[in-house]
Structure 1
Amino acid sequence: MKVIAVILLISASFFSTQAQVSPTPIQLSEALELAQKANQQIRLAKIDEQIAGANLKQTEAIWLPQLNLSYTAMNTNNPLNAFGFKLQQANVTAADFNPALLNNPGATPNYLTQLSLQQPIVNMDMLYMRKAAEKQTEVLSLQTKRTVEAVKLQVTQVYLNLQFLYAAEAVTKTALTTVQSIYSFTKNRFDQGLMQKSDLLNVEVQVKNAETQLNDIQSKIASASDQLGLLMNQPKGIIYTTNTVVLALPTSIVKTIPTNRSDIKAMETGLGIYDIAIKGTKMSWLPRLNAFANYQLNDKKALGFKAGSYFAGVQLSWDILKGNQTKNKAATQIIEKSKLKEQYNSRLDQEQVALQSALRNLKDAQYKYGQLQKSIEQAEEALRILQNRYQQGLVSTNDILLAQTQLAQQKLMQAEAKLAEYSAINYYDFLTTVQ
């Protein structure tokens, strides 16, 4: 029993220590820096960029030589091939011209060591393919930059949400303290027989509501911390606390989506890739010029390298007609480019609408914040008056509880308005960020 008691005591101490882990303070600049270094979305975007770079290196084959070494063992009784093997081995004798032997040579072995070289010289269509691959790496680089900007948007937004939740927690704690003081006063009056049981129960209900609301907010703080940790690729389960962040619009407001924004620029570059691809397809009509060379060693014995021979040359090839394949491929690429152009214009229109909406939301949030500030001042004064009158027994419990609830709601709405204002500014920055 003593051992069990010690174990239970140690377990209780452990879980108590775990539950009392203090929150980790973090600044927005620190969160952004960690996300830029470790965020998984950014890592994946950089990997895609590396893949595009590797694909570009593959196109170096348009001017680099290709060299192949092979060793082949063969055996045949085919008359033509058997005599050819002997010729390649430089092993033909007068007896080999015997018609009986020519017609029935028997099994004839040949061991061929071969070194082959292919050297591209002029392939215009492949040259344009390389240019398209170069542009593709540029597109992926721009997309990576936009991914970094998008992660910045997400981290800032989660941080602002967390900041709002802590403001809501402070409001709720203040409201809970106020309700608890009302409860203490009401309980004292009830014990003295000066108030009814229904008044005390109403205050108790309000206390429970405030406690429940506080618990919900603290749970949301934990969830928002998990989201922030995920964006920063940090261990889960850490509760983060925020420093006060103040966002403001720049002095000169941009009201038109900039076309040099990274994602817009990526789409423009994509249009350029189609131009290059179309030219490359048309260039496939031109002749190709390539060189080749081959060196062989033939022997009738394994691992023999007796008779050596070579041949080399230059080949000019021209696909004169390919069943309209090239023409139709170019036509398809032109249509695909037209589709991308429409998507580009549609994207600009959508982003422009989003920018105007962000500016309107910002204006509405600022107006709402100002209006709520006046409402809060009036609600605070009304609560102060009702508290004095309540202590004198001149107003009902419902009146003071309603006033306290109204004040808490006004403060929460003001915090929400500030969150909406900062969220609009954050989104505005994302929409107008340029290279």
Structure 2
Amino acid sequence: MKKSLLAMALSLPLFAVQQNLSLGEALELVKQNNLEVKVASQDVLMKEMEHQEAVGYNYGRLDLVVNALRSNDAGNVFGFKLQSREATFRDFGFSDFLGGVGQALGMANGDFGMFTQMMSDPAMQNRLLDTAPEDLNYPDARNHFQEKIQYMVPLYVGGKLQAYGEITDKMTTISRLDRQKVLNQKLFETRKTYYNISLVENFIKNLNSILKNVEELEETVSNMVDEGYALDIDLLQVQTKKADVLRMINQAKLNRDLAYQYLSFLVDDEVVSVVNVDNDVPMPKMRKEEMLDRNLDIQKAHKGLEVTDLAIGVERANFLPQIGAFAEYGSADDTFLNDFADKDAYTVGVQLKWNLFNGFVDKSKYEKAKIQNMKMKHQVELAKKGIALQIDKIITSIRSKEYDINSLRKKVKFTHRVYENYYSRYKEGLMSINDVLIKNSEEIQAVLSLVKTRFERNNKVFELENIINKGIL
């Protein structure tokens, strides 16, 4: 029983849903859960690793090398013995040479003069020198174990490594700006969807109010038909209008459900209800220069320009010498780690490498880097001017929508009062049902136009906030 309760308790979060979700809570969920934001964050981590990789090359490379070999190749075996400090004259073939000398001594019968004469004979000398040493040419197979530590470090490469470190650091910053842009876009879409849900709810509320009026009209007309003051066609017209209003309410609810599904996708959790807001999104208040400074695309363009500045230095370094140091310490023997200290050896050195000619390839790369830098400067200016123009267009559109909203609010009130007036006059027999329904349609159209304009105005404000990176940094 306890196990079952524990399993149920652990499974509850899997079926949790978000109810009465506030906008602030929704934005926090996007920051924590949105999958696209997570992918962008992982891109940042990869760029950070690339930066650490570039910086790491400054410290050189330390390797432990262990070789375990066995060979009967004459050159290898002789080299193995030299590395193990075990080479003897026998390994050079002196046993065969001494055998020839001993044979000459025997032929001289102990006469040193005759021996000297024989050794001076060119034929004897050639025969001795042409003797193939068995020990040198056909050695026994030998094991060889070599353990050594190698360290290589660049001392001077014309500033390339420092430039690579700075370039990868700036590329990491650009990646963070890309992540911020993705996050801003998701927050923009979340706020847009959240406000759209609130507007749709408000629209449904207004339609329900209109539906109530139409139902009241339907009841009135029905009573008048019963009393002989109205025709059946009048009632049919009202019922058709009622069906239209119900259709609009149903469509609005479907749009609301779709918005909830998209909001659930953005926060990566099921959202069933939100805290509605009735007021429109406030207009950002800041100077044009500050808007441009906050724009992520312009910031990226500036970082890209800095990268091209550094790239010029990288290509310029190809004309300078490269200097590196090398150190190695180790030991070798036919047994692993045997007499390590007695047979150890070291090697140290410095290498200078300076390219003198390569078909003007480096010069072409250098000129290309300078052209790329000039191109990037123009792109920065283009980004500033293009985004400034975009901001101006959005602000103008917002102001236009705000004027329309004020006008439409008055129109909604006016059309409602006109409808009520026509409805009262219809009950007195002074107006036809057609006139009343026309005024009802005008009221619906005014409400729909107001909702649509508020929707468009809010979207433009969100778009502006996204462009100027407002409130996210």
TM-score under structure 2 length normalisation: 0.80
Q: CA deviation at 1:63?
A: 2.7
Q: Based on CA coordinates, which of the two structures has the bigger radius of gyration?
A: 2
Q: Does the CA contact (< 8 Å) of 1:255 and 1:356 recur in 2? A: no
Distance across 2 between alignment mates of 1:43 and 1:421: 30
Q: CA deviation at 1:411?
A: 1.7
In structure 2, relative to structure 1, the CA distance for the partners of 1:255 and 1:76 (3 Å cut) is closer
1:94 to 74, 89, 92: 89
Q: Deviations over 1:155-180 (max 9, x none)?
A: 22222212211121111111111111
1:80 aligns with 2:75: yes
1:352 to 382, 385, 388: 388
1:66 aligns with 2:100: no
Distance across 1 between alignment mates of 2:28 and 2:266: 11
1:221 to 230, 244, 256: 256
Distance across 2 between alignment mates of 1:37 and 1:410: 40
Q: Deviations over 1:184-203 (max 9, x none)?
A: 22223334444333222222
Q: CA deviation at 1:84?
A: 1.5
What 5-or-longer segments of structure 1 have no aligned partner?
Answer: 1-20
The corresponding residue for 1:419 is 455
Q: Does the residue aligned with 2:247 lie in a helix, a strand or coil?
A: helix
1:396 aligns with 2:428: no
Q: CA deviation at 1:106?
A: 4.4
Q: Does the residue aligned with 2:59 lie in a helix, a strand or coil?
A: coil
Kindly report which structure 2 residues correspond to 1:149-298, keeping only aligned pairs within 5 A, or say none. Answer: 149-233=184-268, 235-236=269-270, 238-249=272-283, 254=288, 258-298=292-332
The corresponding residue for 1:377 is 413
The corresponding residue for 2:33 is 38
Q: Which moved more, 1:214-223 or 1:302-311?
A: 302-311
Q: Deviations over 1:245-289 (max 9, x none)?
A: 443335665388524533311210111111101101211322222
In structure 2, relative to structure 1, the CA distance for the partners of 1:382 and 1:97 (3 Å cut) is closer
In structure 2, relative to structure 1, the CA distance for the partners of 1:301 and 1:30 (3 Å cut) is closer
Counterpart amino acid of residue 74 in structure 1: L
Q: Deviations over 1:97-141 (max 9, x none)?
A: 221222222433322222212123222212211121122222223
Distance across 1 between alignment mates of 2:324 and 2:258: 64
Counterpart amino acid of residue 192 in structure 2: Q
RMSD, matched Cα: 2.7
Q: Does the residue aligned with 1:240 lie in a helix, a strand or coil?
A: coil
Distance across 2 between alignment mates of 1:402 and 1:22: 44
Distance across 1 between alignment mates of 2:371 and 2:272: 52
Distance across 1 between alignment mates of 2:413 and 2:285: 31
Counterpart amino acid of residue 177 in structure 1: K
In structure 2, relative to structure 1, the CA distance for the partners of 1:251 and 1:58 (3 Å cut) is closer
Counterpart amino acid of residue 344 in structure 2: G
The corresponding residue for 1:326 is 362
Q: Does the CA contact (< 8 Å) of 2:23 and 2:275 recur in 1? A: no
In structure 2, relative to structure 1, the CA distance for the partners of 1:256 and 1:300 (3 Å cut) is closer
Distance across 2 between alignment mates of 1:252 and 1:107: 84
Distance across 2 between alignment mates of 1:324 and 1:106: 54
Q: Give the number of aligned pairs.
A: 414
Q: Does the CA contact (< 8 Å) of 2:297 and 2:383 recur in 1? A: no
Q: Does the CA contact (< 8 Å) of 1:380 and 1:407 recur in 2? A: yes
What 5-or-longer segments of structure 2 have no aligned partner?
Answer: 1-15, 94-132
Q: Does the CA contact (< 8 Å) of 2:318 and 2:362 recur in 1? A: yes
Q: Deviations over 1:36-72 (max 9, x none)?
A: 3333333333222222211111123333242211222
Kindly report which structure 2 residues correspond to 1:123-142, keeping only aligned pairs within 5 A, or say none. Answer: 123=157, 124-142=159-177
Distance across 2 between alignment mates of 1:339 and 1:43: 33
Distance across 2 between alignment mates of 1:38 and 1:348: 33
Q: Does the CA contact (< 8 Å) of 1:122 and 1:288 recur in 2? A: yes
1:143 aligns with 2:178: yes
Q: Does the residue aligned with 1:310 lie in a helix, a strand or coil?
A: strand
Q: CA deviation at 1:312?
A: 1.5
Counterpart amino acid of residue 419 in structure 1: F
1:341 aligns with 2:377: yes
Counterpart amino acid of residue 281 in structure 1: E
Distance across 2 between alignment mates of 1:398 and 1:204: 12
Distance across 1 between alignment mates of 2:145 and 2:26: 67
Distance across 2 between alignment mates of 1:160 and 1:260: 24
Q: Does the CA contact (< 8 Å) of 1:183 and 1:203 recur in 2? A: yes
Q: CA deviation at 1:407?
A: 0.7
Q: Which moved more, 1:264-273 or 1:178-187?
A: 178-187
Q: CA deviation at 1:406?
A: 0.9
Distance across 1 between alignment mates of 2:29 and 2:210: 36
In structure 2, relative to structure 1, the CA distance for the partners of 1:323 and 1:296 (3 Å cut) is farther
Q: CA deviation at 1:218?
A: 1.0
Counterpart amino acid of residue 247 in structure 1: V
Q: Does the CA contact (< 8 Å) of 1:49 and 1:137 recur in 2? A: yes
Q: Does the residue aligned with 2:350 lie in a helix, a strand or coil?
A: strand
In structure 2, relative to structure 1, the CA distance for the partners of 1:294 and 1:425 (3 Å cut) is same
